[in-house]
Structure 1
Amino acid sequence: MAHLDVPGAVLYYETAGHVSGPAVLLMHAGIAHLRMWDPQVAALATHHYVIRFDARGFGRTSVDDVKFSARADAVALLDHLGVERATLIGCDRGGLVALDVAVEHPDRVAGLVTIGAGPSGFPEVELSDAEDALFDSLDQAFNANNPEQISRLEVQLWAVGPLRQEADLDPHFLATAYAMSLDNIEHFTEHPRPQPLDPPASDRVVDITVPALVTVGEFDLTPALAEYEYLLEVLPEASGCRFRGVAHLPSLEHPEEFTRVLVSWLARNNL
């Protein structure tokens, strides 16, 4: 178990592979923690130095209720491990942070992979009626201060999605998604205050010139699908992949396919 002291927090992190390999930094989704990358670590560690950590408010990281920069946390971990440049791989909120880091610290980023993620400052996208209904239920759970219900509804919203039924999905995937979300309940009373990138990344990602792989699940929410199209259009060196039959967590729901796409893309780009 490895920890890094940063201002206002103790970050929990794990590494795999040899330090001489090209580094990849894995950043998890907002309904998960670093365990979401378990299916990918072994394959990546064959040729890469794999770094992953629990962000503030998640997993085994402990925090104080202070202002902080998620970007600074990621860079501090790279500094601590002696990594000058890494390929950043982020899902959901992790992808947003990866884009922010690429904008703020371009010298630290060798490549970029986003999964169901968009840049900070991206304009609001109109939701479907089914998505609106799920968000309304989530709002009610927040108003009732019911963390267990919030946790379950977030999985239903993001991992299952409004267009699918749980009965049609792989039980192991569902159990894993629910377990990770429930793990984060202990952080429900914490209130670290992330400081946004200013100006935000939405109008600045055009300056990201490293190779980028932009991905999304077929059944992800409307905003994630819109962000996918936007990033493909504006990132100068972007290629895209839309994973069929999955929602917000393709790396966990269809891990073999996702890993194959990721490893192949890393090899093609010498990352």
Structure 2
Amino acid sequence: MTTGYADSGDGKLYYEIEGKGEVLVLIHAGFVDSGMWEEQWESFTRNYRVLRFDMRGFGKSDPVTGPVSHRHDLYHLLQGLGIKHAHLLGCSMGGETVIDFTLEHPEMVLSLTVVSGIPGSFEMTGEPPSEILEMLQALEKGDLDLVSDLQIRLWVDGTFRQPEQVSPSVRKHAAEMNRVAVKNGTWAIADASPLNPLSPPAAGRLDEIKVPVLIIVGSLDNPEILRAADLLENKIENAKKVIMPDCAHVPNMEKPEEFNRNVLNFLRNL
């Protein structure tokens, strides 16, 4: 494995890369870091040259000082490593990032896997989860432990489960990663108001995506995430959707063997 730091132009990104063959880039969700891919690493690096990295404000990368553009950071990282073409796999905010990147740099993308992701400017319906308001209130009070707990309840447990119904090891691992971003204030500083959002936004441009696309979503995730998956499937010509049962927003952490099989079967059949 090769590890290092790449200059994004406004901070350093920590990355790891291992394996041979076509490049597969893994982009984490916006409440954890690249450690969320631990259960994918060995399986994927046997078949591909796999790159994972911590977005700014997460994990071992530099903290953020203002809004960031994750798709621009991804571009600088790939350019710095001399990677001209890659398969992209992103979860949640990482999924939104890879969709935007594909629309902006279609010549660099071999395939796209979107996990629990929504396209930019996707219009949510209904009442937001109660945890969102509670998180904002906890942030105002500086109660970072509660902020972290609420994020795990929202994204790992999901809408339809109680904490005791979820693997304790998955919750613990996610919480350890999440505390770094919460301590850095990443969401409030950078992600609540992204820098230079894609224009026009992705939600109205999905038919421009021509590469093969795999959409993975957990059956117990927020219904709006599943609705976004339907939109992606219906609007992208070469899209295939997989609903993984009995898991929520991070299906790769809850059911790694099933997740790995879905991704590798998709990539092998391109």
TM-score, scaled to structure 2 = 0.93
Task: Report the aligned-residue RMSD.
Answer: 1.5
User: Is residue 210 of structure 2 the alignment partner of residue 209 of structure 1?
Assistant: yes
Alignment correspondent of 1:176? 173
Report 1:142-161 matches (<5 A): 142-161=139-158
Report what 2:85 is aligned to: 85
Q: Which amino acid aligns with 2:7?
A: D
1:153 counterpart letter in structure 2: L
Amino acid at match of 1:34: S
Q: Is the 8 A contact 1:91 1:115 kept in 2?
A: yes
Greater shift, 2-11 or 182-191, is seen at 182-191
May I ask how many residue pairs the two structures share in their alignment? 264
Gaps of 5+ in 1: none
User: 2:86, 2:110 within 8 Å by CA — same for their partners in 1?
Assistant: yes
Q: What is the CA distance between 1:17 and its match in structure 2? A: 0.5
1:28 maps to 28
Deviation at 1:195, TM superposition (A): 2.4
Q: How far off is 1:67 after superposition?
A: 4.7
In structure 2, C-alpha distance between the alignment counterparts of 1:82 and 1:245, rounded to whole Å: 39
Cα offsets for 1:115-174 (capped at 9, x unmatched): 1101101112213xxx63222322221222222211110110111012101112222111
Residue matched to 1:58: 58
User: 132-141 or 91-100: which moved more?
Assistant: 132-141
Query: Gapped runs of 5+ residues in structure 2?
Result: none
Partner of residue 255, structure 1? 256
Shift of 1:83: 1.2
Structure-1 residue corresponding to 2:96 = 96
2:6 is aligned to 4
Aligned to 1:236: 237
Q: In percent, how many aligned pairs have the same letter? A: 31
- 1:184-206 per-position Cα deviation (integer Å, ceiling 9, x unaligned): 23312783453211111111111
Q: Is the 8 A contact 2:27 2:91 kept in 1?
A: yes
Q: 2:105 corresponds to which residue?
A: 105
Deviation at 1:28, TM superposition (A): 0.3
Q: Secondary structure at the match of 2:129?
A: helix
> How far has the Cα of 1:84 moved from its partner?
0.9
